[in-house]
Amino acid sequence: MATTATATGPALDDLRGQIRGEVITGGDPAYAEACRIWNGMIERQPALVVRCSGSADVIAAVRFASEAGLPVSVRSGGHNVAGTALCDGVVVDLTGMRNVFVDPERNTVRAAGGARLGDVDHETQAFALATPFGVVSKTGIAGLTLNGGMGFLTRNYGLSCDNLIGADVVTADGRLVHADLERNPDLLWALRGGGGSFGVATSLEYRLHDVGPEVFMAIAFYPADAGKEGILAWREIMRDAPDELMSVALWWNAPAEEPFPPEWHGKPVFILAGCWSGPLDEAEEAVRPLRELTTPIADLSGPMPFVVAQSLFDAEYPDGRRNYWKSLYLPDVDEAIAELCDRAAASRPSALSSIDVWALGGAMRNQPEGGSAFAQRGSPFLFGIEANGEAAGDDTDNLAWARDLFTEASALSPGGTYLNFPGFAEEGEEILRVSHGANYERLKEVKAKYDPENVFRGSFSIPVA
């Protein structure tokens, strides 16, 4: 497309003159690195990557793109599995904007648009405060929040987007606007779960809760053949569990390291993971059922600093692997799901792939329907499929496994995908429409108000009404 030519004209020289960050184009030595994101399967060649040092750079980059007729995508943590951080046009790269400011008197935190989960947790935990995020510390807060944001605190304190109380946003016309309940409330509504289609969030402000400094993690590894019965028992445990207990059931493979017995190294396992974020003296009793399903192969449970819990899974998700993730909401976990998980787990072509069932509910339900763009509040479970591999030659088998499983599971679901685990862009608009449900039309209207020319038109973007 014409993007490369546009990105070498005098307007580009002007852009370079205006910003304090870096403008990186195809010929630059830094280009390949600037186009690399977490998922090694994603290869895109943007016309330019603008590494911004602050809002002024973001404004200049967005104005440049609008005038040149180029699409804009935003890169924050670069963890979006579908690769939506990269588009063919201008990538507004916020990786240099990660400052975090805590207000322990108001119980709020404001973080720059490129901050990672670990950046925010580190600062808020100095005051034993936290807001709900995901479970891997290198994920970007912005991408995570804009599509919801689920993690160990979700049942206790809601989704990340439920705790978003304000944001500074550079809109398509290059204005910096503030969105909160008083100013541009329609924009705040859309940012709470409606995705990254409305502008560049240069900072995000969240409500904080008393968490830590220690939480109790349950991480019990069982033989994979305990999974079929185990997930049904887990369903019962979680049905009556207090909101302070968040839990995920997974089919995966045991790490080949201590403390796992050598005969279990690399072998398929069923894992019950959970986080108790309530009073520590109630933790052992609350998580006990997750640890007593049957005799565990290994039980890594125990109290630990919240920041350690938040990075427990980091090593399992290194940069550069080839990943394809899909998800759907489940009304229940029944025999049919248990049988499907058991069968599909046994046929995983890659030992790195997993099936994850998240227990939802709790505080996630406390928001009124329609009070934020996040539409899927009623489902008690989320079914996640992670096809992960190392070599490009394995992609076909890994994707086929995930897609077949998704098709089978879809027959057991009323529909709706968690848009942070969405598959790839070509599976696009229909997924958006179904997943946003009754909120979809309103999202299109907000899009038309703040981005009528559809400048933010990376993959999975809301169309203009």
Ligand X SMILES: Cc1cc2nc3c(=O)[nH]c(=O)nc-3n(C[C@H](O)[C@H](O)[C@H](O)COP(=O)(O)OP(=O)(O)OC[C@H]3O[C@@H](n4cnc5c(N)ncnc54)[C@H](O)[C@@H]3O)c2cc1C
Rounded CA-CA distance 318/178 in Å is: 35
Please, which residue, 76 or 353, has the CB nearer to ligand X? Answer: 76
Rounded CA-CA distance 381/70 in Å is: 39
**Which of 151, 230, 296, 384 is in the footprint of ligand X by CB under 6 A?**
151
Residue 182 · residue 169 · CB < 8 Å = no
143: nearest Cα among 211, 221, 68, 197: 197
Please, which residue, 315 or 411, has the CB nearer to ligand X? Answer: 315
Name the minimum Å distance from CB 319 to ligand X: 9
Verify binding: residue 249, ligand X, rule CB under 6 A.
Answer: no
**Which of 21, 46, 71, 78 is in the footprint of ligand X by CB under 6 A?**
78
Q: Which stretch binds ligand X (CB under 6 A): 70-78, 215-223, 231-239, 361-369?
A: 70-78
Please, which residue, 7 or 142, has the CB nearer to ligand X? Answer: 142
CA distances from 141 to 35, 56, 134, 310, 369 (A): 20, 21, 9, 13, 23
Please, which residue, 323 or 338, has the CB nearer to ligand X? Answer: 323
Number of residues that bind ligand X (CB under 6 A): 33
Burial 71-80 (b: 16+ CB within 10 A, else e): bbbbbbbbbb
Please, which residue, 251 or 325, has the CB nearer to ligand X? Answer: 325
235: nearest Cα among 272, 265, 194: 272
Please, which residue, 117 or 233, has the CB nearer to ligand X? Answer: 117
Please, which residue, 90 or 297, has the CB nearer to ligand X? Answer: 90
Q: Residues 376-415: x/- map of binding to ligand X (CB under 6 A)?
A: ----------------------------------------
Q: Residues 313-352: x/- map of binding to ligand X (CB under 6 A)?
A: ----x-----------------------------------
At 184, list the tokens.
């541009």
Rounded CA-CA distance 357/382 in Å is: 6
- Strands 214-223, 268-276: pairing kind: antiparallel
Residue 205 belongs to what H/E stretch? strand 200-207
Verify binding: residue 21, ligand X, rule CB under 6 A.
Answer: no
Rounded CA-CA distance 222/250 in Å is: 10
Rounded CA-CA distance 230/423 in Å is: 27
119: nearest Cα among 84, 80, 76, 148: 76
Handedness of CA 394, 398, 403, 408 (dihedral sign): positive
Verify binding: residue 304, ligand X, rule CB under 6 A.
Answer: no
Over its C-alpha atoms, the chain yields an Rg (Å, rounded) of 22
Q: What contacts 140, CB < 8 A, 6 or more positions away?
A: 76, 77, 78, 79, 114, 115, 116, 117
Q: Residues 200-219: x/- map of binding to ligand X (CB under 6 A)?
A: xx------------------
Name the minimum Å distance from CB 217 to ligand X: 14
Residues 129-148 that bind ligand X (CB under 6 A): 134-136, 139-140, 142-144, 146, 148
Verify binding: residue 193, ligand X, rule CB under 6 A.
Answer: no
Residues 256-295 that bind ligand X (CB under 6 A): none
Verify binding: residue 353, ligand X, rule CB under 6 A.
Answer: no
Q: Residues 105-124: x/- map of binding to ligand X (CB under 6 A)?
A: --------x-----------
Q: Which stretch binds ligand X (CB under 6 A): 48-56, 75-83, 388-396, 399-407?
A: 75-83
At 430, list the tokens.
């229909």
Q: Which residues bind ligand X (CB under 6 A)?
A: 38, 73-81, 84-85, 94, 113, 134-136, 139-140, 142-144, 146, 148-151, 196, 200-201, 317, 420, 458
